[in-house]
Structure formats: C-alpha cells, structure tokens
C-alpha cells in the first residue's frame, strides 16, 4: 500500500510540474486576430459599342447616389464615353454582397482602370497594367472562300489578318488573285492576359502564302535599323518594294469566287487595268513619286457627261502611273506635290483605270513590272538574319 501511495505522489508531482511549465509557455504567446474569411463577391458586366458605360453601371447594385461621383472619378483616368465590344467591368462587394467596394474597367489591351470606394463618399482612381505573358502561336489554313473568313474560323483576330496581308501587298493582289485552295501559314507572338483569360495578337514572327500558280511568298520579322517595316523574305530582301500590287486598302478581302458585297474585280485590255469597285473607294499610290498632271475630263455616258479626275504620278524609275476615273482628289493633291507609296490620292467613281506609261509612251504590264526591294541585307547583317530565321523556317516546314 505504501508503494501505491508513493506512485500516486510521484504522479501528482510530475503533473504539477508539467502544468506550471505549460502555463508559463502559454502565457508568453502572442495572439494574432484572424478575421473571418469569405469569397470575393464580383459582378461582371460586358459592354458593347452601342451601349453606354452609364447605362451598364446603372443596372448593377451600385446605388444611384454614388454614380455621379463614381463617373467623375473614373473620368480622371479614362474616357468614359469610349466603349468597345468586348470591354467589361468587374464590381467588387463586401462580405454582405450588398455594398460595393471597387470597380475595375477592362478595355482592350493590357491597361485597366480602377475606382475604390473608401469611407463615406470618398473615392480614389488609378490606371493599372495587367501582367502579361508572351507566347508563340502558329496557325495554318486552306482558303475556301476568303482569307479573312478562313483566318477568323481559326481564331485569328482582324489585326492579325491585316498584318498578314500587309506583308505581301507588294507581291500579291489579295483582291483579285486570291483563289480557292490557296494556302497560308503564320507564326506569331500573343500576349496572355490572365484576368481576361484571353490571348491578344502582338506581332507576326514568320508568315508564308502559296497562291497563284503555286508561287510561295514568305516573310520574317527582323528589326533592321534602317527599315520602317521590319520584315524580310528568305533571300534577306525587304518585303517593301518599289510597286504595290494593288491600289486599294484591304478593309476586308474576298476572292472572285465569293459573290458578295465588297468584291473588287478587274479587266485587263492591252495592259490597261480597269477595276470595278464601289464608289468612293480610297485609291492608294502604288509607288512614290511626284504629281505630274491633274486634269478634269468630261466623260460622255448614257445619262450625260460625268466629270472624271485623272492623276499622273511620275515615278523615280522614269515610269508614269496613270490613275483614271476618279470622282475626286485627296485634299493634298496638286501639281508637283510629292507622293508617298500607299498614300491616298483620290476616290473612285465606280471604277479605276490604272496603267503604267513608259518613257517611250508604251504601256507596261503592271503585274510583270520589275519590283525592286527597298532594302537588301548584306554581309554580316545578312548572315545574322539568315541564322535567326532558321528555327522559324523549320516551324513553317513542319506546319
């Protein structure tokens, strides 16, 4: 029995010691208050070009008493009257889900705009930049009806489409030479915007187009110091050339197979090209030069005489390009005025007559005229370029 009491006393002594030790340690601890956690409550509102920002926000839980101050604060960092398709707003609420605390406006691109509601009626705004991750994408396709539609079906943006055709506008007339089964490839950089969960086209790195008579054109990005257009073909020659293949801009491109509005057709008789086109279509200078002559001419028609306004532009190579049947000139057109390639020089009536007149007054075949590259890379610069595009060439071959 004495032995049992002894064990009980030892156990109590150990328990007392452990209690004192625990109490001393516990009393020295610092407690940090952790507020109750909750999931952010966010309303997302998508906008369209035909809707106003005010009307969109008025449909949310933001009280009407806050709207005037909110728009006033937001207008400090953005134009609240410029709304585009695809823009959206995120509105953040507190844990009750009833009181808004912030509004974030996301337009196109990497910028976004924030308005925070502080205590009472105090607001603060800021312009922020989304984190961007750049990736390389590649797409290829065979044309069924038009290049624009095929690229759209592949998820390529209109900006990518315009960038692509601008690479080859010196080699190929997408208005009248595009055919079914033409083939294209494109390797490009895209910016990934995490908040928007989308990728946005950045720039083309390499492109290829196989068109008329299976002729293939290519272009590669190369930021050369003396070139405004940083693209060169596999022969290290700039895509920019002395003559454009078409005197029209490409807002949308349809082939001769696609019988829909917007089509441009042409007829060639004795090297004189007659384009049939919608009236008031902008006409571009196919080459640089100087205005040699502008004369208003009365052209007889079944409904009476119509005033036509031809322009003759003298080229650096000695040729003269004649642009006929214009309804009016661009405002800066006058005799001896310098003209840049791609500059708008006038607007069509319902057609455009185009011809290249040589120094001996003969008419040159516009589509066979010699087109000189504006820049040819040479020496070490050429070698650097050819080395840099090898990987892109392999990617194109594998597509």
> How confident is the model over 93-122, as pLDDT tens digits?
988 888 889 999 988 878 889 999 987 778
Choice among 2-11, 51-60, 326-335 with the minimum mean pLDDT:
2-11
Query: Is 201 within the bounds of a domain?
Result: yes
How far, in Å, are 268, 281, 348 from residue 325 at the CA level? 15, 12, 7
State which of 66, 100, 129 marks the end of a domain: 129
Burial of 194 (0-12, 13-18, 19+ CB in 10 A): exposed
Q: State the CATH number of the domain containing residue 380.
A: 3.10.450.350
Residue 307 is predicted with a pLDDT of 53
State which of 76, 101, 129 marks the end of a domain: 129
Query: Is 144 within the bounds of a domain?
Result: yes
If asked whether residues 281 and 351 sit together in one domain, one would say yes
The mean pLDDT of the chain is 81
The verdict on pTM exceeding 0.75 is no
CB 178 within 8 A of CB 253: yes
Query: Is 34 within the bounds of a domain?
Result: no
**Rounded distance between C-alpha atoms, residue 64 and residue 263, angstroms:** 50
Query: Is 2 within the bounds of a domain?
Result: no
Choice among 20-24, 275-279, 336-340, 380-384 with the minimum mean pLDDT:
20-24
Q: Scanning the structure block, which residue is given the tokens 């920019």? A: 240
CA–centroid distance for 375 within its chain: 26
Query: Is 109 within the bounds of a domain?
Result: yes
State which of 93, 111, 129 marks the end of a domain: 129
Rounded mean pLDDT, 212-234 = 87
Residue 209 is predicted with a pLDDT of 96
Q: State the CATH number of the domain containing residue 343.
A: 2.70.70.10
Rounded mean pLDDT, 182-201 = 85
State the pLDDT confidence band at 288, using cuts at 50, 70 and 90.
very high
Could you tell me which residues are beta bridge partners of residue 338? 290
**Domain around 56:** 41-129
Q: How many domains does the chain divide into?
A: 3
State the pLDDT confidence band at 262, using cuts at 50, 70 and 90.
very low
Rounded mean pLDDT, 210-228 = 85
Longest dimension (CA), the chain: 138
Query: Is 10 within the bounds of a domain?
Result: no
CB 108 within 8 A of CB 87: yes
Nearest partner of 109 among 193, 31, 21, judged by Cα: 193
Handedness of CA 222, 173, 170, 352 (dihedral sign): negative
State the pLDDT confidence band at 306, using cuts at 50, 70 and 90.
low
Percent of the chain scored above 70 by pLDDT?
A: 81
CB 204 within 8 A of CB 187: yes
């Amino acid at each position: 029995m004495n032995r049992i009491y002894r064990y009980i006393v030892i156990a109590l002594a150990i328990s007392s010691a452990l209690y004192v030790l625990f109490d001393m340690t516990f009393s020295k601890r610092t407690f940090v208050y952790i507020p109750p956690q909750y999931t952010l409550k966010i309303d997302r509102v998508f906008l369209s070009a035909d809707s106003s920002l005010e009307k969109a926000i008025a449909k949310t839980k933001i009280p009407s008493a806050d709207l005037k101050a909110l728009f006033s604060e937001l207008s400090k960092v953005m134009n609240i009257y410029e709304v585009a398709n695809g823009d959206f707003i995120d509105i953040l609420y507190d844990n009750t889900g009833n009181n808004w605390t912030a509004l974030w406006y996301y337009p196109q691109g990497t910028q976004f705009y924030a308005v925070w509601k502080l205590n009472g009626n105090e607001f603060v705004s800021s312009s922020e930049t989304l984190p961007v991750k750049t990736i390389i994408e590649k797409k290829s396709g065979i044309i069924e009806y038009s290049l624009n539609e095929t690229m759209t079906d592949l998820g390529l943006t209109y900006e990518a489409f315009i960038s692509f055709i601008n690479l080859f506008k010196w080699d190929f007339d997408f208005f009248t030479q595009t055919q079914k089964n033409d083939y294209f490839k494109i390797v490009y950089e895209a910016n990934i915007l995490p908040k928007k969960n989308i990728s946005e086209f950045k720039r083309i790195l390499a492109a290829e187009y196989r068109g008329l008579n299976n002729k293939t054109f290519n272009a590669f990005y190369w930021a050369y110091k003396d070139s405004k257009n940083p693209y060169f073909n596999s022969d290290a020659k700039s895509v920019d050339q002395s003559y454009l293949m078409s005197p029209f801009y490409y807002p949308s491109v349809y082939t001769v197979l696609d019988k829909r509005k917007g089509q441009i057709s042409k007829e060639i008789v004795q090297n004189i090209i007659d384009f049939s086109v919608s009236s008031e279509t902008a006409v571009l200078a196919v080459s640089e030069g100087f205005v040699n002559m502008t004369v208003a001419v009365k052209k007889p028609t079944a409904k009476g005489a119509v005033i036509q306004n031809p322009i003759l532009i003298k080229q650096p190579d000695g040729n003269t390009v004649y642009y006929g049947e214009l309804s009016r000139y661009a405002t800066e057109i006058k005799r001896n005025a310098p003209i840049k390639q791609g500059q708008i020089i006038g607007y069509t009536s319902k057609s455009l007559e185009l011809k290249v007149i040589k120094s001996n007054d003969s008419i040159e075949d516009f589509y066979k005229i010699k087109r000189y590259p504006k820049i040819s890379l040479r020496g070490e610069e050429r070698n650097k370029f050819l080395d840099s595009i090898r990987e892109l060439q392999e990617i194109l071959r594998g597509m």
